[in-house]
Amino acid sequence: MQRTDGCFIRQGRLFNNRMKGGVNDDVTITAYITASFLELGITVQDPVVNKGLLCLKSSISHLTNTYTTALLAYTFSLAGENDTREHLLKELDSLAIIGDGRLHWSQSASDDSGALSVEISSYVLLAVLTAGQLSTADLGYANRIVSWLVKQQNPYGGFSSTQDTVVALQALALYSTKVFSSEGSSTVTVKSADGHSHNFDVNQNNKLLYQERSLQDVPGKYSIEVKGSSCVSVQTALFYNVPTPTHTSTLSITATTDGNCTKSFGHTLAINFTV
């Protein structure tokens, strides 16, 4: 299915514009396929992979889509094409949305924290982490993306959709391998304003254990304090029910007629509507 120019032929229709970042072209499908080959360990010397990269390189000069830019940055990171990788990451850095020490990317202003933003940001994180040697600055940059991603994670561990969850977990898993340490421990203390407190101990024996506890004073104010030398992730979840409204909110319209029908001609008839 590969053309002579290295691009892969797109087949079928895109029924959901959130799939593939809403981008329905040969460049995106070529990036998916080429990245898949590279993830499998097929080298850039392979004719199919090499031609796929040539197709992608020819599209870089006219990229206008943040999703495609992020996907290509990851693909060229896998390929070890550092010059192209740095060019794409520099372009993405200029498009980054910064706030509260966090970084993320969006396809549009109307989808600032949806599934597409999670997927784009995850591809950027994968691109940043897929390098021969990571510097402290690289890990710091990646940490700001991770900080935003985990904030989007729901209490059950997933994100907005299946697709963005798969990519986000792949990126977070790669990040965990880069910052893994076989030493250290931490204690997370949660305190309420009324004096209730609970300690979560995270050490080398239970660091993969998910720990959870219900808050005792709700509503109430809580503080979280962390002491130690290991990395931990803390999340709070609030569940609540909204009572069914008891008042009637349906629309009722009454129509009445008014007019003089005694005349043989020239009479008028009025219809009055009352809401």
Q: Alpha carbon of 87 to those of 21, 81, 90, 223, 243: distances in Å?
A: 21, 10, 5, 43, 53
Q: Write out the DSSP string of 149-182.
A: HHHH--TTS--SSHHHHHHHHHHHHHHHHHS--S
Q: What is the pTM of this model?
A: 0.81
Residue 73: closest CA among 54, 88, 51: 88
What's the CATH number for 19-178?
1.50.10.20
39-53 pLDDT per residue, tens: 999 999 999 999 999
> pLDDT for 183-217, tens place per residue?
999 999 999 998 899 999 999 999 989 999 999 88
Give residue limits of the domains in the chain.
Answer: 19-178, 186-228
Q: Among residues of the chain, what percentage have pLDDT more than 70?
A: 91
Q: How is residue 72 written in tokens?
A: 């290509």
Residue 239 burial (CB count, 10 A): 5
